[in-house]
Amino acid sequence: MFYCHRSDLVTKATHYSQRGNTFKISTGKYSKIIDPICHLDSAGTEDCFDEYRIGDGTMRTLTKLSLGLIAAFAYSTALVQPVLAHDLDLVVQAKGGKPGKPPKDSNDSEESGDGGGSTRTPIYYDWMHSDVLGAWNLGAGNEYLGQGVTITVVDDFSSRSKFFGNLGDGLSRSRHGEWTLKQAGMIAPSANMIADDFNSGDWVSLVPEVFNVINLSYGMIGTYGYGEINWGPQESSIITHAAGGAFISKAAGNDEVGVGEPFGGLLDYLARDLIGTDSTIFVGALDGNGTIVDGMGTGTLAWYSNTAGFAVNQYLVVGVDGDLTGLYGTSFAAPIISGYAAVLSNKFLDPLPKIVASRLLTTARTDTILGYNIAIHGQGEASISLALAPDYIN
């Protein structure tokens, strides 16, 4: 057995862990919940481990890691005072709870709404690409706001790990999942949002007869070199849905390698098993939204972002302006694509996840990226305005 921890990345060198359930997997089927295997690391942090069976029958453990790099806010004029997370202004349905209520133990966040996806007033913020405003303004009667779409965000909604950020509506302190859910909901303000705690291990269900989006701003990390993994219910369901049942937006990772490539003797096995699936897009981060100045693109890959790697035909980049929001990492790139997919699906009478994924990939821009290289940048920078344009969608 090798040991690893379920945690949030706060910097590349430190982490916070929290007690979670450990799932014992036998012949690929959910067996029972047992007490987590825990120990104190050198920093005094309690680490807990998830157990899975690899194809050879050997028990292994995989780390569940949020893919965000967090920077503390500081201003030149004054120190920031701690602020608890306030109203996220999202229509949220917490898995396992009642519509409109936050997940268990997320007492510092107050979600609003009835869980039904009622339209919220779209508000444009500087971290968004100007394409977003253009998409909202297309047509008449708020046609492209993600209405009739469900975005399920599988992430941390229950740990004690919180951090500061500002998505334009004021400084607040929230869990990783609360940030990613809020961000996706800001892009697609009419979407029905579901918070699915990645510590539950439960099967991720789709909402019938609607377009489903699943946001994955985390990875499942283990020692490089293992073969088939008999996944637990949560990741197994995600991989199943990626065959075309739902649009999957997966954070590419923050290890400065290609998607699907090992780093430091480790591998994101969830990413590996999503490569080649019909409706998955891996999302890398640019330092900011790309544009064209004097005939040249300005977008540059963020220093931490994984490149296209083995997912060159499934890879897009978007701007993640951490200097503006305090939120760094491909964790905060994936929700942008989740929002784009929700908005784009409104263009179709009967949207299919793989068709929406294909439109986003084939309409991406390469001219906004400085030194574009398909091996690094994949299909380019996502453009919701081009994806919605009549030239590309009849």
Q: Give me the pLDDT at residue 141, please.
A: 62
186 Cβ contact partners less than 8 Å away, ≥ 6 residues apart: 123, 125, 128, 167, 339
105, 4, 2: which is closest to 48 by C-alpha? 4
State in Å, rounded, how far the first CA of the chain is from the last one: 53
Q: Locate the domains of the chain by residue range.
A: 7-69, 76-388
- What is the C-alpha separation between 229 and 28, in angstroms, rounded? 8
Query: At the topology level of CATH, where does 76-388 sit?
Result: Rossmann fold (3.40.50)
- The position carrying tokens 């989740």 is 338
Q: Cβ neighbours of residue 1 under 8 Å, at least 6 residues apart?
A: 51, 59, 60, 61
Helix (H/G/I), strand (E/B), else coil: 362? helix
Cα(44)–Cα(64) distance, rounded to whole angstroms?
A: 19
Q: What is the pLDDT of residues 317-327, one digit of tens each?
A: 999 999 999 99
Show the low-confidence residues of the chain (pLDDT under 50). Answer: 1-51, 53-54, 56-59, 70-117, 392-394
The DSSP result for 89-141, as a single string, is --BEEETTS-BT-PPTT-TT---BS-SS---------TTS-HHHHHHHTSTTT
Report the residue count for the chain. Answer: 394
Record the pTM. Answer: 0.78
Q: Measured over all CA atoms, what is the biggest interatomic distance in the chain, rounded to whole angstroms?
A: 61
Quick count: other Cβ atoms within 10 Å of Cβ 287?
Answer: 18
The pLDDT of residue 390? 78
Do 223 and 266 contact (CB within 8 A), yes or no? yes
